[in-house]
Structure 1
């Protein structure tokens, strides 16, 4: 249905009432005097200038009829305006009382302003409800992730103080690994939270991305080799105005994700420049993501198979960190299936000044 502005609707309705009343008065006057003069012709001579008693009666009848018509039209118009506003006020009261599922009814959508106001209110209410649910999920997930390593640390330390465990280098290394896991979890939470609140600090400067990629690979090379991976590099010098430390952190998260969940074998790390800009990709040999989970792979605390993720110690934050860093560079993080059946995780960054820097370095 075509929507009109409220001011235009009021003007149209009042104009219609005025035209209808005027036409009715004209028709009634003509009919009334035609009948009156036919039944009782006026006496010869000039007509009187002042209305007669019958004229006053007719004027009063027309005024009363016009008022009744105006009241009916005004009541109908105001009911169309007040109904959605009343529903809006009721929805606002319910939300203020804590019921975030409350929604307003738009009523007659022919009035554009009230319909748009109700739609905006419902969109705001939906976002509030989604945010509240996300906060509750985050709190539960964070508590769940922190509980396991803290429980292990507490148990080991209580065992040491109670003489149940003998202090040894192996025990301390085990405790240190759990502390490092906690540190990584806290840092991942910090990055994702700061990005969501638009407070993630970025330090942009010109950097050779090939060197940053090599640093990340070298940092993970021993762990990847011990896990049965063979690293294959396809890189070249590309200078980019970026936060090199953050991009190295994103690549480290992708490599760590592959170490935990990918099938041991060839792990290809590549760089290329195409229409999407600079693309850093990590390709493994499987098993890949399910079609249902793939669209949510970069969501915080998302796990394709919770039991398997828990077995390998994943927090579900690594890929969300990758997405946060990519989007902080005005790019994107994405996933696609390889022809071999494996997974390809990519970080695509608009090339911008990077293309010019790369050309100048040649």
Structure 2
């Protein structure tokens, strides 16, 4: 608790000292001025010196002004102390774990005090929001891990009990579950490192077109097997980037299009404009609803797969892409593709040293 008596006493002493000092300065200042005037315009000695009456007048004036100063000091102390006491009490509540505590602003005429209370309440709200997000994050992670772990445990227990034969198909299914867990762990790691500012990047000038062409060649077979074909529209530009992380983000966008769009063409474009590099992935539909478009980059948000047999993923793909792009100082945006599908664009600053770029 802020000591009300201590601060009030200090304010009272300060106000009283100011009152007495001001009274004495005015009195003796007036006397000195009067003495200077008398030097030029002489008066009788009895009229030019201080007497007991003068000191009595000063004493009476100080006796009258001191209670006024005390009243003002107490009122000022109360106005200052009330919000500060509220601040101290609610800070203790937050320390004890009650993140709903908020301080009362009180008199906003004290601008600095009101600003302090507002900043404290903003901080408390952010702490509450972060705690709620962390609780939701932990619950969601637990839910995401529980399903593949349950499947793995059930399958392995069935093999031990003789219910399932440990044939190649069963083992392959278990490997798929382990791969899913590994992807989830790696995605969580990437997002967490990016949020904390510790995502490891090896940035250097990179010609992206050869990198993308090589990656598209590797993905083409699996895409054709799923009913997709890939098209490239690439400008020969250079970006200061970590090529491995860019490939990771691009793969996530293509996988997202493969999972959530209708069969057709997936277009990867690379262009330059207004001092920026735009790397985009577009599909042929159905795109995102307005409500989904506003939260599609949030962790664990999933759309509806275009085909019921598709796996729905872990809801971290676009969060990983955004984390990688923002770690590069860029931004990720969604807009409708010309054919009615979805277009996700990674936007980077143009590289400053083109000659340093090397072919893939």
TM interval, shorter chain, is: 0.7 to 0.9
In structure 2, the gaps of 5 or more residues are 1-10, 28-44
The aligned counterpart of 1:64 is 63
**Cα distance in structure 1, aligned partners of 2:98 and 2:307:** 37
Per-residue CA shift, 1:259-311, capped at 9, x if unaligned?
11112112111101112521110011111112122122112112345999997
More deviation, 251-260/158-167: 158-167
**Cα distance in structure 2, aligned partners of 1:49 and 1:353:** 84
Q: Is the 8 A contact 1:103 1:125 kept in 2?
A: yes
- Displacement after TM superposition at 1:226 (Å): 2.2
Per-residue CA shift, 1:110-142, capped at 9, x if unaligned?
333322322222222122112211111111111
**Cα distance in structure 2, aligned partners of 1:58 and 1:94:** 54
1:189 aligned to 2:188? yes
Q: Is the 8 A contact 1:239 1:357 kept in 2?
A: no
The aligned counterpart of 2:286 is 287
**Cα distance in structure 2, aligned partners of 1:188 and 1:349:** 22
**Cα distance in structure 2, aligned partners of 1:195 and 1:183:** 18
Go from structure 1 to structure 2 and tell me whether the alpha carbon gap of 1:192 and 1:88 turns closer, same or farther (over 3 Å shift): same
**Cα distance in structure 2, aligned partners of 1:271 and 1:84:** 56
List structure 1 segments (4+ residues) > 4 angstroms apart after TM superposition.
45-52, 54-61, 304-311, 354-358
Per-residue CA shift, 1:51-104, capped at 9, x if unaligned?
56x877765543332011101211222222212211110110110110111111
- Displacement after TM superposition at 1:151 (Å): 1.0
* TM-score, scaled relative to structure 2: 0.81
The aligned counterpart of 1:352 is 351
**Cα distance in structure 2, aligned partners of 1:18 and 1:304:** 72
The aligned counterpart of 2:201 is 202
**Cα distance in structure 1, aligned partners of 2:214 and 2:108:** 60
**Aligned residue pairs, count:** 326
Q: Is the 8 A contact 1:206 1:242 kept in 2?
A: yes
**Cα distance in structure 1, aligned partners of 2:334 and 2:271:** 16
The aligned counterpart of 1:169 is 168
* TM-score, scaled relative to structure 1: 0.80
Per-residue CA shift, 1:319-349, capped at 9, x if unaligned?
0110111011111111111233211001111
1:327 aligned to 2:349? no
**Cα distance in structure 1, aligned partners of 2:120 and 2:167:** 62
In structure 1, the gaps of 5 or more residues are 1-9, 27-44
